Amino acid sequence: MSLNKVWVEAAKTEDIPEDGGACVLLNGKQIAIFHLKSKDQWYACDNLCKHKMQSVLSRGILGDHHGEPKIACPLHKKSYSLLTGKNLNGEDYAVEIYPVKMEGGLLYVELAEG
């Protein structure tokens, strides 16, 4: 069964700190949005770190893992790829990644409809 996807307005670009993140509530779900200024790229993932099930990833540390953008949990430094959501510490859990687009100073995140 395929879910329909829709672009949801998430934030103004100025609401997300350069080389940092912020949490937004979209369709009842906490989404962390990041701006990696050096690559001029925007990323979004679940705000929930699966290690200890705490909603803190938006306050995490942006970085690079062999050329791949990553976010490290501010509590226990568990790292996730911002391209795939894969746990970069070799553990089995991952975070969901969402496409982000920018139009006219606004950020949109693609989510399942409903």
CATH number at residue 86: 2.102.10.10
The model carries a pTM of 0.93
**10-residue mean pLDDT series, the chain (114 residues):** 85 96 96 94 97 95 94 96 96 96 97 83
The domain total for the chain is 1
Query: For the range 19-28, what are the long-range contacts, defined as Cβ-Cβ under 8 Å and sequence gap of 24 or more?
Result: 19/62, 20/62, 21/57, 21/58, 21/59, 21/60, 21/62, 21/71, 22/58, 23/47, 23/55, 23/58, 24/109, 26/109, 26/111, 27/111, 27/114
The residue segments making up the domain with residue 82 are 5-112
